[in-house]
């Protein structure tokens, strides 16, 4: 028995690294756990909106439809911009984890700018659709399209606010390497928004009615 | 009343799991490679949109490509591949639940029927 205890004492320590260990029942950060639970519930929210779009597509009796108004090359560029913002976000996380605060701010700002470009593109797209006679009240397609993409746009906008808040905290020196998890959690939200757009881009824009 | 903490309390199984499941994150070069693959897959998706293959085949390919992109972002950028099992289960539960509920709902309403 004593020999066994001695041999265990020489094995690798089972306590995780300080930055990964949390004094909780799960050994995980409650904030991170809460964000993942929130994202799981967001699957249900966007699932409902995407299902409603599926239910209503091709059933409009009047007004413009997908074939009349979609500009696929334009939306493809927007999708590419949002996809690349996920790269800059993950590079921001890598920067703070190694204590490179200057690059953290550069990547956070780049992510916010790419997100803002996506939103500007969406505002332009909505405006052009309205000019062509498609509003939220025109037909079933208009209602489900604007609600789905509008909800996604609101999520992206909230993400931009989060990113700019982090950038401001970093400028004031409040965002240190020890608090890198804050950036990781904001990043989870941002990547989720990107993942939702991957689905929307395919099922709403690319798959014909 | 004092706040209960884990300090001084042994939870070897949980600690071990937390350590084992919280692996190292990928390198920056890996992130760039993943982003390039995602960009390439997006280009293929857009290309498929303009092809004249059968609608069923195109739709299946588009859904497949979107699924690959989805998994790549969640696994690498959100680190779910390297993180704790519990986090993975939380997200997958929400995703699978949403998929079953809404696909069932749409099937009930005959959305996928010709």
What DSSP line would sit under A146-188, residue for residue?
A: HHHHHHHHHHHHHHHHHHHHHHHHHHTT---GGGHHHHHHHHH
Whether A174 is covered by a domain: the verdict is: yes
Q: For residue range A32-43, what is the model confidence (pLDDT) as tens digits?
A: 999 998 998 899
Judged by CB atoms closer than 8 Å, whether chains meet at B48 and A206 is answered as yes
| The pLDDT of residue A143 is above 50 | yes
Judged by CB atoms closer than 8 Å, whether chains meet at B109 and A55 is answered as yes
First to last CA, chain A: 71
Nearest-angstrom CA–CA distance, A87 and B37: 12
Number of domains in chain A: 1
Q: Residue A116's pLDDT is what? A: 97
Chain A with chain B: Cβ pairs closer than 8 A: 153
| The pLDDT of residue B58 is above 70 | yes
Chain B contact for A90, CB < 8 A?
A: yes
Chain A neighbors of B49, CB-CB under 8 A: 72, 206
What DSSP line would sit under B83-113, residue for residue?
A: S-HHHHHHHHHHHHHHHHHHHHHHHHTTTT-
Chain B contact for A3, CB < 8 A?
A: no
Nearest-angstrom CA–CA distance, B15 and A190: 29
Judged by CB atoms closer than 8 Å, whether chains meet at B25 and A94 is answered as yes
Torsion sign over Cα A36, B22, B26, B38: negative
Whether A142 is covered by a domain: the verdict is: yes
Q: Residue A9's pLDDT is what? A: 40
| The pLDDT of residue A11 is above 70 | no
Q: Each residue of B92-111: b (16+ CB within 10 Å) or e? A: eebbeebeeebeebbeeeeb
Nearest-angstrom CA–CA distance, B42 and A76: 8
Q: Residue B46's pLDDT is what? A: 93
**pTM (two decimals):** 0.83
Domain ranges, residue A34: 30-206
Whether A163 is covered by a domain: the verdict is: yes
| The pLDDT of residue A4 is above 80 | no
Whether A151 is covered by a domain: the verdict is: yes
In contact, A55 and B58? CB cutoff 8 Å: no
Whether A25 is covered by a domain: the verdict is: no
Judged by CB atoms closer than 8 Å, whether chains meet at B84 and A28 is answered as yes
Judged by CB atoms closer than 8 Å, whether chains meet at A90 and B31 is answered as yes
Nearest-angstrom CA–CA distance, B14 and B17: 5
Chain B neighbors of A41, CB-CB under 8 A: 94
Nearest-angstrom CA–CA distance, A115 and A47: 22
Q: For residue range A86-128, what is the model confidence (pLDDT) as tens digits?
A: 999 999 999 999 999 999 999 999 999 999 999 999 999 999 9
Chain B contact for A77, CB < 8 A?
A: no
Residue B6 — very low, low, confident or very high, per pLDDT cuts 50/70/90?
very low
The pLDDT of B35-60, averaged and rounded, is 91
Share of chain A above pLDDT 90, in %: 66
CATH number at residue A142: 1.20.120.80
Judged by CB atoms closer than 8 Å, whether chains meet at B98 and A43 is answered as yes
In contact, A2 and A152? CB cutoff 8 Å: no
Closest CA to B77 of A46, A193, A119, A21: A193
Q: For residue range A28-71, what is the model confidence (pLDDT) as tens digits?
A: 888 999 999 899 889 989 999 999 998 888 777 777 777 778 88
Question: What is the distance in angstroms between the Cα of A199 and the nearest Cα belonging to chain B?
Answer: 6
- By CA distance, what is A89's nearest residue in B? B77
| The pLDDT of residue A186 is above 60 | yes
DSSP H or E segment with residue A140? helix A140-171
| The pLDDT of residue B17 is above 50 | no
Whether A5 is covered by a domain: the verdict is: no
Whether A3 is covered by a domain: the verdict is: no
Whether A162 is covered by a domain: the verdict is: yes
């Amino acid at each position: 028995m004593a020999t066994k205890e001695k041999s265990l004492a020489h094995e690798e320590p089972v306590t995780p690294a300080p930055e990964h260990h949390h004094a909780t029942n799960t050994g995980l950060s409650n904030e991170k756990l809460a964000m993942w639970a929130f994202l799981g519930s967001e699957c249900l929210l966007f699932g409902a909106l995407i299902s409603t779009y599926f239910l209503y597509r091709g059933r409009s009796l009047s007004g413009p439809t997908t074939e009349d108004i979609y500009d696929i090359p334009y939306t493809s560029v927007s999708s590419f911009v949002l996809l690349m913002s996920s790269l800059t976000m993950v590079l921001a996380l890598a920067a703070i984890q190694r204590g490179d605060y200057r690059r953290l701010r550069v990547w956070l700002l780049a992510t916010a700018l790419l997100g803002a470009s996506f939103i500007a593109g969406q505002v332009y797209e909505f405006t052009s659709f309205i000019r062509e006679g498609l509003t939220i009240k025109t037909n079933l397609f208009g209602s489900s399209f604007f609600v789905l993409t509008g909800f996604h746009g609101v999520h992206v906008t909230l993400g931009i606010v989060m990113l700019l808040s982090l950038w401001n905290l970093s400028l004031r020196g409040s965002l240190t390497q020890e608090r890198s998890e804050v950036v990781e959690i904001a990043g989870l939200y941002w990547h989720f928004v990107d993942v939702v757009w991957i689905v929307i881009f395919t099922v709403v824009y690319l798959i014909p009615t | 009343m004092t706040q209960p903490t884990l300090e001084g309390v042994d939870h070897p199984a949980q600690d071990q799991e937390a350590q084992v499941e919280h692996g190292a994150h990928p390198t920056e070069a890996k992130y760039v490679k993943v982003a390039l693959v995602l960009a390439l897959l997006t280009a293929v998706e857009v290309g498929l949109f303009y092809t004249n293959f059968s609608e069923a085949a195109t739709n299946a390919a588009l859904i497949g490509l979107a699924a690959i992109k989805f998994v790549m972002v969640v696994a690498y950028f959100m680190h779910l591949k390297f993180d704790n099992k519990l986090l993975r289960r939380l997200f997958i539960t929400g995703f699978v639940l949403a998929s079953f509920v809404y696909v069932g709902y749409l099937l009930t309403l005959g959305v996928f029927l010709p």
